[in-house]
Structure 1
Amino acid sequence: MSWPAGKDRTLSLRSRLALLVASAVAIAVAAAAITCWLLTRAQLESELDTSLERTTASPGSVQDALNNCDAPPPSSKPGFAYVQVVLPSGARCVAPDSQPVKVQPADVAIARTPTHSSSLHSSTTDDGAEVRVNTSQVSFRGLGVFTVSVSRPLSEIDTSLNRLALLLAAVAGLGVVGAGAAGLWVARTGLRPVNGLTRTVEHVAATEDLTVRIPVEGEDEIARLSRSFNAMTAALASSRDRQSQLIADAGHELRTPLTSLRTNVELLARSEETGRAIPPDDRKALMASVKAQMTELAALIGDLQELSRPDAPGPGPLQVVALHDIVESALERARLRGPDLTIDARLNPWYVRAEPAALERALVNVLDNAVKFSPAGGSVEVALGRSGELTVRDHGPGIPAEDLPHVFERFWRSPSARALPGSGLGLSIVARTVQHAGGEIALRPAAGGGTVAAIRIPGAAKPPPDEPPRT
């Protein structure tokens, strides 16, 4: 018989567990029952043999057996034991009230042996009934020495063994049925958390609802699996929320420069279509605005690409770099962006393990903020101390205390900075880069006005001897 394609021929986990428990119990019960039956049979046979060894034939029964050597076997009801005399020729003389038992070679050997000996063995009656025989030489005063076989039927113990077998079979059957029911109950109880986990996973797959959580009880493997699943869904929900927020914030930030750029381009296109030339000064201002908007868009897209990288690890390996050299390179770029500002720098040697390009970009962002918020003709102080702390201090308006907890959030901009160019992503990039290098950054108000940005990255005043700094 062939199964239809795709048909599931496997049992459920619950059924397999119940079947496994029932099978294990059935095997154990069967093994115990068989062992019990075999031990009981061996014990009964041993007791029967002991009883035969202790049973002796009376002189009268032997005399009666000798008198019946030529007579047919008696037809009366047999007694407790069968008695017969075995002659050296192999003939037998059966006592009254006894069943004739077939003479075995061991019986004849004892009859022909002049010394006293005995043999305990099995045989059968003439009608095929199995018996246990004890043959030995017996001496009777006034009669002489005779070889006498005393037998008892094995039906005595077979009846008890058959009853025991039926009883064990009934107990084993009840045990298997009970084990199957217990196995099914155990499977249902043990797999109840798994069923809940399965329903939750199916619900998440169908609805994409990552807020669902599985109740966790205990400290077993199912509880660990539930905790891991809850942690996974929480991480996925957080990642999806951050992704949605990033897309929403990026769309919001892109809308303003795109709108302004579209307006300026439409003015230029209308001038070309109508033939009305825009005054040179207005056209120059319009082109400058278009250029500024393009620059802002390029910077925003670059910041978004930077933030789209995974938090760890970065695209390149961490390297031992000279922080003072990277600060110096970033200062050159900052001086170009604030030519009317005075930027003082006091840099001590400090070597850190970081990604050079990302670290320089982060420091440029910090210096750009200082330049952007500094008044015309103002100054910016940059210091890299012997302990490795880098500080950048400006003399601008400062950051209100209520805004400090939000400065490293993506796209967040204080009300006073919304009129200035920027995407609100710079400090987010700085914080991520510094944290990737194992450091930390903080902004605090400066004495006398302005803001101090403090960056501390673990390092040393000298590079490791086995790994020179890379530039």
Structure 2
Amino acid sequence: MIRRFRALPLRSRLALLVAAAVAVAVAAVSVACWLLAREQLRDELDRSLQSISVNEGYLAATARSCTDQERRLPPTVGPLIAYVQIVQPDGSRCVAPGAKAVKVQEGDLEVAQQLRSEVLHDGVTDSGQAVRVFTHTDPDTGYTYSVSRPLAEIDSSLNRLALLLLVVAGIGVLGAGAAGMWVARTGLKPVDDLTDTVEHVARTEDLTVRIPADGDDEIARLSRSFNAMTAALESSQERQAQLIADAGHELRTPLTSLRTNIELLARSEETGRAIPPDDRKALLASVKAQMTELAALIGDLQELARPDTGQATKVEVVGLHKIAQSAVDRARLRGPELRISTELAPWYVRADAAALERAIVNVLDNAVKFSPPRGAVEITLDRGTLTVRDHGPGIPADELPYVFDRFWRSPTARQLPGSGLGLSIVARTVQQCGGEVTLRAADGGGTLAVVKLPGAPTPPPDAP
């Protein structure tokens, strides 16, 4: 049953739940109403019995006739509205004319034996008719009277009330089911729109579709979340397409040059025409440089292709000053003619050591690459702020907003080696470490790169 219910559409389940809830409520109210009416009718019947026992004059005549030897019963005074009988202490009874004999119960005997003053209970006649009985002793005559009326008087009213409540309950449940279906259809209309949109996106891969999100309810929040998700997917898809296009463009140049050089070498071998030693040496050097450039570009692409989860993959406590010193040593090998000065104060951060070193190396590579011959590069680290200052041509102000974009290269630097991915990797790595990186023009010329990372001057106690 539960499986079948869960297999129904959501709107059908909501309609059934609403109808079931209304049915339970209506049933509870109907039962309470029937029970209340029953108690009210029984109370009214009890009061009428007590009133009859006091006001009907023929009760005394019945008592006198029961004491005669012939036990003659008097004629009924007025219309018969109750069954009357006198109960003797020995359990015998004297029934009034026109009345039905009611079986004497233990409570009636207790009243006749002066053990109780009165009793009110359900009883039954000799013919099996259900009655309500009121038995009491008349203080004037000393006789015990038992007055009863048929319960059918109230049972018929209760049956009619039950039938009426059943009809009303049925109409209410049907109306609740219809209302529940309407409410479910109306309330789930935005969900249907969302479902249609999701199916459209899955079928066509069209991420430009948006759902109207009016209001502040849960459906509107869900619609806005879906719109934000599709916008993020669309942006990611565009960035992916742009990355592939840019990567293809960047790879085309070195591959074309490499293929040309290799074809020259292969043609020389096939034709037997030797290439002059100097030209051959330059050709091989060019092939080696292009292979190095391709390897660096592929490495950068692999780095950027990793999922951007917002945090480093292998986080540990590392000394930023030590990583910076290692990067400086590598920079000195690439620019031996440059004057590189350092002032590195201890600073410990939580980061992926390999990724962070690669990012700092990229920053220093830019400083080395754009520094003039025998130029100077100043590197300082003070309370988590790493600054790298070169004395090169600098970056024009209109180009600064684009320096961290993938494959972006300044028009004045396109003749220099590089893929345009280095600073993108720097920005991504620093953001994963919770820091920030900026590039700006330095006073007096050159470029100033600033990397800020959160940390402490001493390693934490839990550091390895």
Report if aligned partners of 1:442, 1:454 keep a CA contact under 8 Å in 2. yes
Q: For 1:165, which of 151, 162, 166 is the aligned residue?
A: 162
Q: Distance in 1 between matches of 2:260 and 2:92?
A: 135
Q: Distance in 2 between matches of 1:396 and 1:72?
A: 138
The answer for the alignment partner of 1:442 in structure 2 is: 438
The answer for the alignment partner of 2:274 in structure 1 is: 277
SS of the residue corresponding to residue 404 of structure 2 reads coil
CA apart distance, 1:205: 1.7
Alignment of 1:125-144 (within 5 A): 125-138=125-138
SS of the residue corresponding to residue 7 of structure 2 reads coil
Report if aligned partners of 2:66, 2:73 keep a CA contact under 8 Å in 1. no
The answer for the alignment partner of 1:3 in structure 2 is: none
- CA distance change for structure 1 residues 414 and 93 in 2, over 3 Å: closer, same or farther? same
Q: For 1:452, which of 448, 453, 458 is the aligned residue?
A: 448
CA apart distance, 1:90: 5.1
Matched, 1:99 2:99: yes
Q: For 1:267, which of 251, 264, 277 is the aligned residue?
A: 264
Partner deviation per Cα, 1:80-133 (whole Å, 9 max, x = no partner) = 12223345665544333x232233144873686367843333333444332222
Alignment of 1:226-265 (within 5 A): 226-265=223-262
- CA distance change for structure 1 residues 7 and 258 in 2, over 3 Å: closer, same or farther? farther
Q: For 1:153, which of 126, 150, 156 is the aligned residue?
A: 150
- CA distance change for structure 1 residues 45 and 383 in 2, over 3 Å: closer, same or farther? same
The answer for the alignment partner of 2:46 in structure 1 is: 49
Report if aligned partners of 2:404, 2:424 keep a CA contact under 8 Å in 1. yes
The answer for the alignment partner of 1:433 in structure 2 is: 429
- CA distance change for structure 1 residues 102 and 329 in 2, over 3 Å: closer, same or farther? closer
- CA distance change for structure 1 residues 337 and 157 in 2, over 3 Å: closer, same or farther? same
CA apart distance, 1:363: 2.4
Q: How large is the Cα RMSD of the aligned pairs? A: 3.2
Matched, 1:318 2:316: yes
Q: Distance in 2 between matches of 1:73 and 1:131?
A: 23
The aligned amino acid for 1:321 is G
- Gap runs ≥5 in structure 2: none
The answer for the alignment partner of 2:189 in structure 1 is: 192
Matched, 1:38 2:49: no
Q: Distance in 1 between matches of 2:112 and 2:333?
A: 132
Report if aligned partners of 2:367, 2:377 keep a CA contact under 8 Å in 1. no
Matched, 1:350 2:346: yes
CA apart distance, 1:464: 3.3
SS of the residue corresponding to residue 288 of structure 1 reads helix
- CA distance change for structure 1 residues 114 and 419 in 2, over 3 Å: closer, same or farther? closer
Q: Distance in 1 between matches of 2:421 and 2:335?
A: 20
Q: Distance in 2 between matches of 1:464 and 1:394?
A: 30
Report if aligned partners of 1:87, 1:111 keep a CA contact under 8 Å in 2. no
The answer for the alignment partner of 1:81 in structure 2 is: 82
The answer for the alignment partner of 2:392 in structure 1 is: 396
CA apart distance, 1:406: 0.7
CA apart distance, 1:364: 2.2
- CA distance change for structure 1 residues 10 and 454 in 2, over 3 Å: closer, same or farther? closer
Partner deviation per Cα, 1:401-420 (whole Å, 9 max, x = no partner) = 21111111110011111112
SS of the residue corresponding to residue 345 of structure 1 reads strand
Q: For 2:293, which of 266, 291, 296 is the aligned residue?
A: 296
Q: Distance in 1 between matches of 2:378 and 2:290?
A: 30
Matched, 1:286 2:287: no
Which region of structure 1 is more displaced relative to structure 2, 271-280 or 123-132? 123-132
- CA distance change for structure 1 residues 64 and 166 in 2, over 3 Å: closer, same or farther? farther
Q: Distance in 2 between matches of 1:222 and 1:30?
A: 33
- CA distance change for structure 1 residues 326 and 24 in 2, over 3 Å: closer, same or farther? closer
Matched, 1:405 2:406: no
Report if aligned partners of 1:110, 1:147 keep a CA contact under 8 Å in 2. no
CA apart distance, 1:258: 0.7
Report if aligned partners of 1:370, 1:380 keep a CA contact under 8 Å in 2. no
SS of the residue corresponding to residue 371 of structure 1 reads helix
The answer for the alignment partner of 1:174 in structure 2 is: 171
Q: Distance in 2 between matches of 1:114 and 1:289?
A: 132
Partner deviation per Cα, 1:337-396 (whole Å, 9 max, x = no partner) = 233x33230314231314333233222222222222233x33022131545543333333
CA apart distance, 1:297: 0.4
CA apart distance, 1:248: 1.4
Which region of structure 1 is more displaced relative to structure 2, 194-203 or 116-125? 116-125
SS of the residue corresponding to residue 13 of structure 2 reads helix
Q: Distance in 1 between matches of 2:205 and 2:380?
A: 50
- CA distance change for structure 1 residues 251 and 68 in 2, over 3 Å: closer, same or farther? farther
Q: Distance in 1 between matches of 2:303 and 2:455?
A: 25
Report if aligned partners of 1:69, 1:94 keep a CA contact under 8 Å in 2. no
